[in-house]
Amino acid sequence: MPRHVFKDVPDGDNITYDVVDEENGYRQCTFAYPFEVHQELFNKIPIIKCKDGDNFLESYPKTGTHWLWEMIYLVKKGTCDITEVQKGQNMIDASPIEYTENLPQPRVLNSHLKVKYLPKDVIEKKLKIVLLVRNPKDVAVSFYNHTRGLSFYDYDGKFENFLQMFMRGEVDYGSYPEYLREWQTFMKENADVPIHLVYYENLHQDCQGEMKKVCKFLGNDVSDEDLQQIVSNCQIDKLRKGKMDKLPEEIKVRMGQMTKHDFSVFRKGKIGDWRNWFTVAQNEAFDKWWEQETRDITMFSFKYR
């Protein structure tokens, strides 16, 4: 059965995933859907009809997607104030095709999908793509907290075991090195598709400067004052509170049922939190693994401060 309970390590803790592409074992979280509904949703992603003005934010999980999505959406919306619109509502891997195709403008569609699973229209229409990446150690830590914090994974394992699963590429959306490798290949072979690369670490260190580059890429003329206000309003504590304040009560109740351990998608937003989690031995093993797995990846270089 494609919905399956796996082990993080042999004799370890259980974790639930949907295998949506059995040919290569591609896993996703269930998104709280029945499996048949989820599989149909996934199968229809390539035929999603995109509009000429659509922008795409692509990222591996836990690279800062909610944060960057919010800032891009406010830029496109022409407002500095946090809105009730959620990043998840514009996530094509989590929404039925009928819902996605009827989203109003501005549309900042986003996903964690490998490039080969994206809607064909993205490539054929040469829609603008912002690709967000983050150093893999902080990704692993954030991914662990995310997986423990969302109830539909049904997971309460240890970080040391999750880290092994992450390094095996057996988390949802697969291997991070493989994700980067496929994007590198795609960018080299499709130079006519407009892609702007953003590093989470650079965004953290000079948010306004990086967002000015994003705005220029997307063709949005935003004043320095407005952009400064957007950046200020999207600081993680303000963003966490602002989004919660905008949520209808029924959605807050549903989110409470889907989360545990006081989890929030806006967790810390820091660089270098991995130092609070990795042991010396884990760090050495991770460095060795990363060097081996990314020896042919030259397009991405990360800061681990």
Strand order in the sheet with 128-133: 108-111, 55-59, 128-133, 195-199
Q: How confident is the model at residue 255, as a pLDDT?
A: 61
**Bridge partner list, 108:** 55
Is the alpha carbon torsion for 149, 245, 75, 305 positive or negative?
negative
Residue-number span of the structural domain to which 102 is assigned: 50-135+172-293
- Indicate whether 64 belongs to any domain: yes
Whole-angstrom CA distances from 282 to 162, 237, 275 are: 12, 30, 11
- Indicate whether 192 belongs to any domain: yes
Three-state SS at 133:
strand
Please report, rounded to a whole number, the percentage of residues in the chain having pLDDT higher than 70.
92
- Indicate whether 62 belongs to any domain: yes
Residue 205 reports pLDDT greater than 70 = yes
Confirm if 148 and 156 have CB atoms less than 8 A apart.
yes
- Indicate whether 8 belongs to any domain: no
In the 8-state DSSP scheme, what is residue 83?
A: -
Query: How far is 153 from 280, CA to CA, in rounded Å?
Result: 29
Residue 7 reports pLDDT greater than 80 = yes
* Beta carbons within 10 angstroms of residue 179's beta carbon: 22
Give the count of domains, the chain.
1
Q: How do residues 234-258 score in pLDDT, each as one tens digit?
A: 988 888 777 777 677 666 656 656 6
| CATH number of the domain residue 187 falls in | 3.40.50.300
Q: How do residues 42-67 score in pLDDT, each as one tens digit?
A: 999 999 999 999 999 999 999 999 99
Taking residues 281-293, what's their average pLDDT? 98
- Indicate whether 156 belongs to any domain: no
Q: How do residues 207-234 score in pLDDT, each as one tens digit?
A: 999 999 999 999 999 999 999 999 999 9
Q: How do residues 264-286 score in pLDDT, each as one tens digit?
A: 655 666 899 999 999 999 999 99
Confirm if 80 and 243 have CB atoms less than 8 A apart.
no
Q: Out of 27-41, 153-167, 232-246, which region has the weakest mean confidence (pLDDT)?
A: 232-246
Confirm if 27 and 174 have CB atoms less than 8 A apart.
yes
The residue type found at 13 is: D
Decide which of 241 and 298 is more confident.
298
- Indicate whether 126 belongs to any domain: yes
Average pLDDT over all residues of the chain: 92
Taking residues 120-144, what's their average pLDDT? 97
